């Protein structure tokens, strides 16, 4: 029954989690509101905030789990990808603990852990399954044949879905982070009130750069006719933007399911917290006789529980790193 302490610090959330034999005992997350005033994450400020937060966050995670550091069998951290300064804080802190207690180190790929967040709840998918992983930096369709056997079969050729949400929100004059605000306003809007194009991309890959451009031109042209257009139509515009992004995602996922014949379907990543994506995904699953799985909201955005569950499977496989390992801003998996 291995006990693992995991740390996630890839961007602007400092998180620590304790996992024992595949069960999450604690999952503490400290956010960084300072970035709101700058309209996006400032890397230097993020790394400084991690330095301030990491000790109290780890201490709280251990307290909630009811264990001390000597009881930890292995220490895990997010190795890649992410902001290098933020990653280094988590990496160096974790390696220091492992060295002090002479325990093994486990490195985790951030996107792989998003996928495996689906293995945390009791209701979890069987293998093989497909996972639509959508975040601020990545949009992928992943074929999973086992906890550590994954293959990316579709990805964004340019921007990620989360970036499309945030950049669209910025065009609408909404504060950062704008994605959740689009979701909020869309709840009272009419979907497809305004038409935005779906990119014609072959295969299972995605593209969102053209959609962002069309939204930019749409707002520009409408505000030429009525300078208060956005303010007067904010609910319908948000609903229309959100529906197009969601439909792009699910159309590709449906295509992947048909090509592979897989009926176990999951979503993961920060954008999987979007209410319409969750609802539309489940509705599509019922229509196509899929078995659908969505992580609880606390495991959708960046969190250490997903690092811990991934580290648990790597522990069972004997997949350990040594003290020379370091963080990487970009890494394939």
Instruction: Give yes or no for residue 20 having a pLDDT over 80.
Output: yes
Q: Fold identical between 3-115+300-316 and 126-294?
A: yes
pLDDT of residue 47: 95
* Secondary structure (3-state) at 274: coil
Residues 200-249 pLDDT 10s: 999 999 999 999 999 999 999 999 999 999 999 999 999 999 999 999 99
- Predicted confidence at residue 333, as pLDDT, reads 66
Region of residue 269 (phi > 0: left; psi between -120 and 50: alpha; otherwise: beta): left
| Mean of pLDDT values over 293-303 | 95
Q: For residue 38, what pLDDT is reported? A: 82
| CA dist., res. 327 & res. 125, Å (int) | 30
- CATH number for the region 3-115+300-316 comes to 3.30.420.40
Q: Mean per-residue pLDDT for 256-265?
A: 98
- Take residue 8 and report the two structure tokens written for it: 């996630």
For the four alpha carbons of 289, 290, 293 and 294, in that order, the dihedral sign comes to negative
pLDDT band at 176 (very low <50, low <70, confident <90, very high): confident
DSSP 127: S
User: What's the rounded mean pLDDT across residues 257-280?
Assistant: 97
Reference 243, options 285, 200, 201, 185; nearest CA is 185
Q: Mean pLDDT across the stretch 321-328?
A: 91
Torsion sign across C-alpha atoms 36, 41, 45, 47: positive
Contact assessment for residue 138 and residue 269, using Cβ atoms and an 8 Å cutoff: yes
Task: Assess contact for 108 and 117: CB atoms under 8 A.
Answer: no
Are the beta carbons of 87 and 326 closer than 8 angstroms?
no
With CA atoms as reference, report the closest residue to 246 among 192, 172, 185, 210.
192
CA neighbor of 54 nearest in space, from 23, 30, 87: 30
pTM over 0.85: yes
pLDDT for 118 equals 98
**pLDDT bracket for residue 330 (50, 70, 90):** confident
Domain ranges of the chain: 3-115+300-316, 126-294
Distance CA 209, CA 164 (A): 8
| Residue-level pLDDT at 289 | 98
How many residues in the chain? 333
How large is the average pLDDT for residues 263-269? Answer: 98
> Cβ distance 41 to 11 under 8 Å?
yes
CATH 3.40.50.10210, applies to 126-294: no
Contacts of 25 (CB under 8 A, 6+ apart): 17, 18, 19, 64, 65, 66, 67
pLDDT given for residue 40 in this prediction: 84
Q: How do residues 178-188 score in pLDDT, each as one tens digit?
A: 999 999 999 99
Q: Is a pLDDT exceeding 90 seen at residue 157?
A: yes
Angle between helices 179-186 and 161-171 (to 10 degrees): 70
List the structure tokens of 312.
Answer: 């648990």
Q: How far apart are CA 312 and CA 149, in angstroms?
A: 14
Q: What is the pLDDT of residues 54-90, one digit of tens each?
A: 999 999 999 999 999 999 999 999 999 999 999 999 9
Can you read off the two tokens belonging to residue 86? 């933020």
Q: Provide the mean pLDDT of the chain.
A: 95
Instruction: Give the pLDDT score at 177.
Output: 86
Q: Is the pLDDT of residue 36 over 90?
A: no
Placement of tokens 């905030």 in the chain? 49
Q: What was the pLDDT predicted at 305?
A: 98
Contact yes or no for 171/219 (Cβ under 8 A): yes
């Amino acid at each position: 029954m291995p006990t693992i302490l995991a740390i996630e610090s890839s961007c602007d959330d400092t998180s620590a989690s304790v996992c024992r034999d595949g069960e999450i005992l604690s999952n503490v997350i400290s956010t960084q509101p300072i970035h709101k005033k700058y309209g996006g994450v400032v890397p230097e400020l993020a790394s400084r905030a991690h330095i301030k937060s990491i000790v109290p966050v780890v201490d709280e995670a251990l307290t909630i789990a009811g264990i001390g550091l000597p009881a930890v069998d292995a220490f895990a951290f997010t190795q890649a990808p992410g902001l290098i300064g933020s990653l280094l804080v988590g990496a160096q802190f974790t390696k220091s603990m492992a060295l002090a207690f002479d325990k093994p180190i486990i490195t985790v790929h951030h996107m792989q852990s998003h996928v495996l967040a689906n293995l945390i709840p009791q209701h979890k998918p069987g293998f093989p399954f497909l996972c639509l992983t959508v975040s601020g930096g990545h949009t992928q369709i992943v074929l999973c044949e086992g906890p550590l056997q994954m293959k990316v079969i579709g990805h964004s050729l340019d921007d990620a879905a989360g970036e499309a949400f945030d950049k669209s929100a910025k065009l609408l004059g909404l504060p950062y982070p704008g994605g959740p605000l689009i979701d909020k306003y869309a709840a009272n809007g009419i979907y497809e009130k305004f038409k935005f194009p779906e990119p014609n991309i072959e295969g299972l890959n995605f593209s969102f750069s053209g959609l962002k451009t069309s939204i930019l031109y749409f707002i520009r042209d409408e505000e030429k006719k009525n300078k208060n257009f956005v303010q007067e139509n904010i609910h319908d515009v948000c609903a229309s933007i959100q529906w197009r992004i969601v439909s792009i995602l699910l159309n590709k996922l449906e295509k992947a399911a048909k090509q592979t014949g897989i009926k176990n379907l999951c979503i993961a990543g920060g954008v999987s917290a979007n209410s319409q994506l969750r609802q539309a995904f489940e509705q599509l699953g019922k229509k196509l006789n899929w078995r659908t799985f969505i992580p609880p909201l606390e495991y959708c955005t960046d969190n250490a529980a997903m690092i811990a569950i991934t580290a648990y499977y790597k522990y069972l496989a004997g997949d350990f790193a040594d003290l020379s390992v370091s963080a990487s801003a970009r890494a394939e998996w």
